[in-house]
Structure 1
């Protein structure tokens, strides 16, 4: 471990946000002029289709698409849905929309008709760029989305359809387009986030937010191949992440930051598996990656000797949930690459984490605020909590020097009340709440305690599920686990664990007792799961997070049914 440069970096750091800024120019336009032949996208797929695209090819395709969209009536500020997986066309769509001053609205291919309809209606999207797989659902809802004029289809397009085929649209247009100038505060991306209650909210992300993401990206990636004290050093970085580009984790944590630095990113269109992860990293010489804890757990269980693959991996970031010391130790000892945990939200992303190249990381911690971000743990009244006290993680609208932090979203789409509720006061000069609980050490290190709605009390004890889940994961029979409260008349709640078994293990009463003893021997007596239910798979979000809320509701419904019976 090297010298701890944390305080030095924070004290010296100053944001440099130009009044005029455009994501397309920063991530593609300048590289198409300066390093046109440099690789931007390596494409790979389950079907065996592979291709390599340069920055010049990315820019020319984006220019053609911008012209095509302009002819379809897309103008500055218009919302355009992107329903695509990881592939070249997805990057083209984002660059094309940004240089038009339009607002990209990425949507997951996993969304059904109802989810698509709500977002298309709420946003007033005027056009959708979609993979052919999404076409049936989009056709089903199009008539109920009056603003939606046209669908551009990537892939097989039915004959005699109202949709516009991608290749046909681009081939009819010139490869030159004059970008529209945008200001740093102009909207760039609209991403819908699922809250604990109510309909999803559209977080409107400005152009400048990419700049706000950069300190976290380069720190969590151990400076992405650059020496921070000698920026002239070249980088051979190649990035890959299974994170869906339809979400903040894939778009703002992977695709756009990689392109911002003019480096190649691997786009893999297919399902994640531990074997495929190792295969991709070896084949493309991946040096930097972002892997969710769920992915790392699968890789850890599948491969005790990962170095035999001849990987070139130099830096690894993880986010979404706490990694836990079992996975942390595997990354450090077996993989040979210490993992940098990161924490952020769609509304203000990449704000907390580790950078083991420049400051020591404590296993299991969230890390510390990245340079340029002022982070604290606050109580219900908005006051900073003393060290070691559990409270809500919050990010201030201004950094430690009083300068506005560019990472912040502009607000929730058509939902001013939700925007106001997110802040403790004036959004331009107050704390922004995350809804995540943590405690902070005197040196600023944060320790995750779970979502505000995930933490529960059992027999008067405050229970955070993460620690128990991590303990269960250390048992060889456990592939994954989620801990929720089970309503109990006497104690208020019991600790219950849903467990996915690793290959080669079968459910039994003896295994239940073994797992309970495993936790009881390692954590406080009140933390061991009084009940364990084996399950084939945990409910997950499309971004790979365990949906404890689904399991929690299941327990509440069972308890209500038992009372009624």
Structure 2
């Protein structure tokens, strides 16, 4: 492979206009041209298999109607407007309407439930919420705990406390002049996924979309190409689904597929076949399910995939190798978070090293820092950090403004001009990053520093393992034992548990250092996950701490 990284990275220059609005850039500018306005923006399919197509013109007109409605409801620039909908065209129109009036979109996952929704709505002080039938009952329960939330716009749901979507839009004109926002104006309030505790609201600017583009283009093997069609099962309320799929696809004027209903491996493959999907963002959790349920997909499906980006969790060599062999695509791992997305990753423009996170994407000055905030030596593990400025001294537009009404948390995120990610990695002599786990997931066992990611990847290489999570179990002698929670693949569930535990232990011991072998393995039916599919290891750690405390209390 021709390595073009040394040419691309140092020559990249940011161009961020003084005025920039996501709605104008992603939808309205395409609709202004009658020919481009007829292009397909969204292919949509609901859980019943019913399908519809939205053009850029229809999307723009619907967004304008809703923008007029929001204005008449008193929504002002800077107000937070919550959006709790699945992957549907009306959700995209809602985003664009919120941006058009200069308000701040507050995307919330339908999976949060009443209490999770209430906590975020209350913290954001949201005035208005837009929901569909699947989330409206939960939101009405949440509203009781949210005094500022006075108006709810509901699609396909009737209740005296809501404003019907269709009635509101029917009274509005399809013409609206988008507010000329400054590129640094707030546009999105994205709450962190809560892998390590209470979620915090990361406030992003309109120009954050520009900051995402280099990584998006590279991770999708230079998107867009002619006839490119995008799809992701990731919730459009999550950073990966929104900034890694929906908004960049629309920015380039291409079509994205939106789907409602539960994820399954077969349905995912059917969707990619039916819509001739060329580009996808697939979280490792989704890839694991496809790998387990349909190990040879190209024998059953005619796929058009040319690029896959994966993020949210470390991809790991087993999944990488399967994608390359079974899907015919080398997946591009990418790393980022709500506060600063698309920092590091792979692309077909430079060689991929299986198991590596890749290299910093053009436009971003990234380093691994030690405890003193200094760059680590080659091969040493430290914390991944992004500098406020690129290598040319220009501000990086991808960086968030700060945590919503939480100055202490914002300040603790930085050391000088470096924004700390909370994720650990090492860098090899060629500039490739190698993930070592979350800083708060790493623990010590018998004096050895244990990162769960490497052990989990090793377990996943065993055919009996569908998924795994590694956490510390308190131990008076070693400080902590390595414990693995394992979900078995369908073909291994009837096997003897004790024999299988020994087999998995030997599997790890023969491939990693002996001290990395799990001393205990617990077979479970599921793992605690965030709404974005990340393993909530802190829940498992707390479970082990609680279990360890029970005998001590009983002995007193």
What TM-score bracket applies, with the shorter chain setting the length? over 0.9
TM-score for the superposition, normalised by structure 2 = 0.97
CA drift at 1:199: 3.2
Name the residue aligned to 2:421.
434
Distance 1:481 1:31 in 2: 45
Cross-structure match for 1:189: 188
Q: Match of 1:221?
A: 220
Deviation of 1:203 after TM superposition, in Å, equals: 0.6
Aligned to 2:305: 313
Measure the CA separation in 2 of the matches of 1:534 and 1:91.
41
* Distance (whole Å) between structure 2 residues aligned to residue 476 and residue 116 of structure 1: 38
Partner of 1:494: 481
Change (3 A) 1:225 1:259: closer
Q: Give the equivalent residue in structure 2 for 1:232.
A: none
Partner residue in 2 for 1:556: 545
Distance in 1 separating the partners of 2:193 and 2:229 = 31
Measured after TM superposition, the shift of residue 138 of structure 1 is: 2.1
| Rounded Cα–Cα distance in structure 1 between residues aligned with 2:224 and 2:132 | 34
Deviation at 1:165, TM superposition (A): 0.7
**Shift in Å, 1:195:** 4.6
| Distance of 2:146 and 2:445 partners within structure 1 | 46
Q: After the TM superposition, which residues 121-520 of structure 1 pair with which residues of structure 2 at under 5 Å, given as runs?
A: 121-158=122-159, 161-195=160-194, 199-226=198-225, 235-308=226-299, 309-355=301-347, 357-425=348-416, 430-505=417-492, 506=494, 507-520=496-509
CA distance in 2, matches of 1:374, 1:461: 31
Q: TM-score, normalised by structure 1?
A: 0.96
Residue 178 to residue 334, structure 1, CA distance change in 2 (3 Å) = same
Question: Following TM superposition, by how much is the alpha carbon of 1:285 offset from its aligned partner in structure 2, in angstroms?
Answer: 0.2
Separation (CA, whole Å) in 2 of partners of 1:67 and 1:312 = 40
Shift of 1:194: 4.1
- Secondary structure, counterpart of 1:40 in structure 2: strand
Instruction: Determine the C-alpha separation between the residues in 1 that align with 2:519 and 2:481.
Output: 6
CA distance in 2, matches of 1:331, 1:225: 21
Distance 1:549 1:197, change over 3 A: closer
SS in 1 for 2:83: strand
Task: Give the SS at the match of 1:15.
Answer: coil
Give the SS at the match of 1:236: coil
Deviations 1:327-363 (A, max 9, x none): 11111111100000000010010111001x2100100
Query: How far off is 1:143 after superposition?
Result: 3.7
Distance 1:219 1:212 in 2: 13
Count of residues paired in the alignment:
549
Q: Deviation at 1:306?
A: 1.6
Q: Report the CA distance between 1:87 and its aligned residue.
A: 0.5
- For residue 135 of structure 1, report the CA deviation from its aligned partner: 2.1
More deviation in 9-18 or 127-136? 127-136
Asked if 1 retains the 8 angstrom alpha-carbon contact of 2:224 and 2:252, the reply is no
- 3-state SS of 1:21 partner: coil
Deviations along 1:238-267, whole A, 9 cap, x unmatched? 000000011111111110000000000000
Q: CA deviation at 1:527?
A: 0.8
Distance 1:278 1:150, change over 3 A: same
SS of the residue 1:243 aligns to: coil
- Cα distance, 1:197 vs. partner? 5.6
2:491 match: secondary structure: coil
Q: What CA distance in whole angstroms lies between the structure 1 residues aligned with 2:279 and 2:196?
A: 36
Offset, 1:516: 0.9
Partner Cα distance (1:152, 1:524) in 2: 56
Query: Tell me, which stretches of 5 or more residues in structure 2 are unaligned?
Result: none
Change (3 A) 1:296 1:198: closer
Cα drift, residue 474 of structure 1: 1.2
Quote how far apart the aligned CAs of 1:107 are: 0.5
1 CA distance for matches of 2:327 and 2:140? 46
Shift of 1:400: 0.5
Deviates more, 1:140-149 or 1:332-341: 140-149
1:137, CA displacement in angstroms? 2.4
- Please provide the CA RMSD for this pair: 1.1
Shift of 1:225: 3.8
Partner Cα separation in structure 1 for residue 96 and residue 472 of structure 2: 45
Distance 1:367 1:129, change over 3 A: same
Q: Following the alignment from structure 1 to structure 2, what is the Cα–Cα distance between the partners of residues 26 and 191?
A: 20
Deviation for aligned residue 1:196: 5.8
1:435-467 Cα distance to aligned partner (Å, 9 max, x none): 000001122210000000111111111111111
Cα distance change of structure 1 residues 42 and 471 upon mapping to structure 2, 3 Å threshold: same
SS at match of 2:135: helix
| SS of corresponding position for 1:222 | coil
Distance 2:135 2:329 in 1: 38
SS at match of 1:42: strand
